[in-house]
Amino acid sequence: MASVAELRAAVDAALQQVTEGQAAIQAAREKLGEAQQSLAAALDGSANDAVGAAHASLSQADQQLEECFGATLLAVEQAQTYTATL
Amino acid sequence: MSLLQELGAQLRATSDELPTGLVTVAMERLRTATELLNWVRQTSVDPIGVPQLGNATEHAEHAAAALRLAQDAIAAYLAALGLAADSGAPPDQDWKAGLEKKDKQDEPAPAPGQEQQPPPEQLGPWWRERVEQLTGEAPPPPQPNGAPPERTADTAELLRRVAAGVRSGDRARLGRDLHGVNAATGLGLSAVTPPVLRRLAGDLLGHEPGPDDLQRLRGAAGGRVKSLLPGTPPATLDTLLARICRTPPAEQAPAHPADSAVTASVLTGVLLARLGRDPATLDPGAPEPLRPRGVDA
């Protein structure tokens, strides 16, 4: 049977992992923004289907990362509420 | 270099620099957090954020898939321009992302007189007890002078040490290295190993691992993992191999978070040994190892 201190420490360790995940998400979004700009500058005026697909996929990736980040914020809030009740 | 070649080089660079590695890091951190919270959840009816973390992980998976589609689209465009064969594809670098040292430059410096003291290790006994069950090796006795043991706080360094212990087949050394870290460093193994395992398995097989490779990988690594970790539940290794092969793992009760971390690190060492590679090749700064066409696994 785990003690309260162990449960609290396990949640803290999980939140540390989430924080590091959030940092990676933010860094990924920054790099993604740079890639989108670079692609837009290089392929300005192209009507090729593959170019359209590349732009769409990058936008989709960014949107997913934004939603991912939002979900982690909710998770952190719930986990903190739980530890407050321990 | 013609204008067309210059455009091709620029597009290739953009494709190579897409943050697939960072997204993988995020995904694995969230999975590790979920494992920990699932363990806590066994004692509570509170969801403790687990469903939200599941959603977050799913979004990260979709982002990774979208990035791969973007890379495919750029490759298709280059092919349409007749530039696809200009240079070989660079080796997959994603496995390095989780092993890179953290950049401490952005962290605020502590105020004078308030230098950071490591927080008390609440999970230390919890971690060491499980390591003992997994390895069969008891924690080392306290030092005679009462000084705290020197602990590495670097998960990537721990992974290299574990791989060295696996290579030498020395279970006592493996136990010492795993006992010799705090829980956070040890649990970090869960987050850094998945892309490394997939890369090593791919090198061993000679192709990207798929569902058909599950048995082959189990045969190549299962026995050695079991001999070094006699206490590891069989389901833990099966789940790790299933993830490598991108096949759904069998349903099971939430495992102890240390099981996955420790077993994944030993599996990394076993695959590395099967490839005849030195643990130092796990250093992100080490030269890229030659990828074999396929080793008899």
Q: How many CA atoms does the CB half-sphere of A59 hold within 13 Å?
A: 7
Q: Cβ(B167)–Cβ(B272) under 8 Å?
A: yes
Tell me which chain B residues have a C-beta less than 8 angstroms from the C-beta of A2.
Answer: 40, 43, 126
Q: Which residue of A has its CA nearest to B187?
A: A13
- Torsion (CA) B26, A83, B134, B187 in degrees, nearest 10: 30
Residue B232 in 3-state DSSP?
A: coil
B138: closest CA of chain A, how far (Å)? 20
Is residue A5 included in any domain, yes or no?
no
User: Apex CA A54: angle with CA A52 and CA A57, to 5°?
Assistant: 110
pLDDT at B150: 66
Q: Could you tell me the two tokens for B261?
A: 């971390």
Q: For residue B297, what is the DSSP state?
A: -
Residue A6 inside a domain? The answer is no
Using a pLDDT cut of 90, give the percent of chain B over it.
63
Domain enclosing residue A77, as ranges: 22-85
Closest-CA distance, A38 to chain B, in angstroms, reads: 7
Please give the model's pTM, rounded to 2 decimal places: 0.82
Residue A33 lies in a domain: yes
Q: Is A17 contained in some domain?
A: no
Q: Highest mean pLDDT range out of A56-70, B73-87, B232-246?
A: A56-70
What's the confidence (pLDDT) of residue B119? 55
Burial class of residue B178 (count of CB atoms within 10 Å of its CB; 0-12, 13-18, 19+): buried
Mutate to test the interface with A, among B46, B59, B100 (most CBs of A within 10 A): B59
Between residues B142 and B265, the one the model is more confident about: B265
Q: What are phi and psi of B91, to 5 degrees?
A: -65, 150
Top pLDDT among B101 and B182 is at B182
Among B188, B257, B190, which residue's Cα sits nearest to residue B42? B257
Q: Report the pLDDT value the prediction gives residue B87, as an integer from 0 to 100.
A: 53
CB B240 within 8 A of CB B201: no
Interchain pair A50, B184: CB under 8 A: no
Confidence of residue B140 (pLDDT cuts 50, 70, 90): confident
Nearest residue in chain A measured CA to CA from B39: A10
Please give the structure tokens belonging to residue B137: 């090796």
Q: Is A65 a residue whose pLDDT tops 80?
A: yes
- pLDDT at B45 (0 to 100): 84
**pLDDT band, very low/low/confident/very high, at A45 (cuts 50, 70, 90):** confident
Q: If pLDDT is split at 50, 70 and 90, which confidence band does B108 have?
A: very low
Mean pLDDT of B128-157: 83
Q: Is the pLDDT of residue B144 over 80?
A: no
Cβ atoms B116, B110 nearer than 8 A: yes
| A37 assigned to some structural domain | yes
* pLDDT at residue B42 in the model: 84
B39-81: per-residue pLDDT in tens?
A: 899 878 889 999 999 999 999 999 999 999 999 999 999 999 8
Domain annotation covers residue A1? no
Structural domain spans, chain B: 1-90, 123-141+150-297
Cβ-based neighbours of B82, under 8 Å, separated by 6 or more: none
Average pLDDT over residues B2-8: 89
